[in-house]
Amino acid sequence: MASPKSNGSEAQAGPWKLVMEDGGPIKPPVTVKYTKLFINGEFVDSVSGKTFETFDPRTEEVITSVSEATSEDVDLAVKAARAAFDHGPWPRMSGQVRGRILHKYADLLLQHSDEIAALETWDSGKPLDMVKMLDVPGSSNIMHYYAGYADKIHGLTLKMSGQYQGYTLHEPIGVCGQIIPWNYPLLMFFSKISPALACGCTVVIKSAEQTPLTALYCAHLSREVGIPPGVLNVLSGFGETTSASISKHMDIDKISLTGSTEVGRLVMEAAARSNLKDVTLELGGKSPLIIMDDFDIDEAVDIAHSAAYINMGQICMAGSRIFVQENVYDEFVKKIIKRVHKQVVGDPFKQGVQHGPQIEKVQFEKILKYIQYGKDDGAKLLIGGNSLGEKGFYIEPTIFVDVEDNMRIAQEEIFGPVMSILKFKTIEEVIERGNKTIYGLVAGVLTHNINTTNRIARSLRAGRIWINCYYAGSFNCPLGGYKMSGIGRELGLAGLESYLQVKCVITPLQESPWL
Q: Answer whether 137's CB lies under 8 Å from 40's CB.
A: no
Q: Answer whether 77's CB lies under 8 Å from 56's CB.
A: no
* Active-site residue (options: 68, 120, 282, 360): 282
User: How is 388-401 classified by DSSP, letter by letter?
Assistant: ESSSS-EE--EEEE
Q: What letter would DSSP give residue 39? A: E
Q: What letter would DSSP give residue 312? A: G
Residues ≥6 apart with Cβ < 8 Å to 12: 337, 382, 383
User: How is 212-269 classified by DSSP, letter by letter?
Assistant: -HHHHHHHHHHHHTTPPTTSEEEEE--IIIIIHHHHH-TT--EEEEES-HHHHHHHHH
Q: Answer whether 382's CB lies under 8 Å from 403's CB.
A: no
* Active-site residue (options: 199, 201, 218, 316): 316
466, amino acid identity: W
Q: Which residues of 364-391 are buried (b: 16+ CB within 10 A; e: fewer)?
A: beebbebbbebbeeebebbbbbbbbbeb
Query: Active-site residue 282, yes or no?
Result: yes
Query: Active-site residue 316, yes or no?
Result: yes
CA pair distance 440, 432, nearest whole angstrom? 13
Q: At what angle do helices 113-124 and 213-224 cross, to 10 degrees?
A: 160
The number of residues making up the chain comes to 515
CA pair distance 465, 456, nearest whole angstrom? 9
Name the nearest CA neighbour of 460 among 428, 494, 501: 428
In Å, what is the CA distance from 399 to each residue of 307, 309, 403, 418? Answer: 13, 11, 10, 6
Give the active site residues. 282, 316
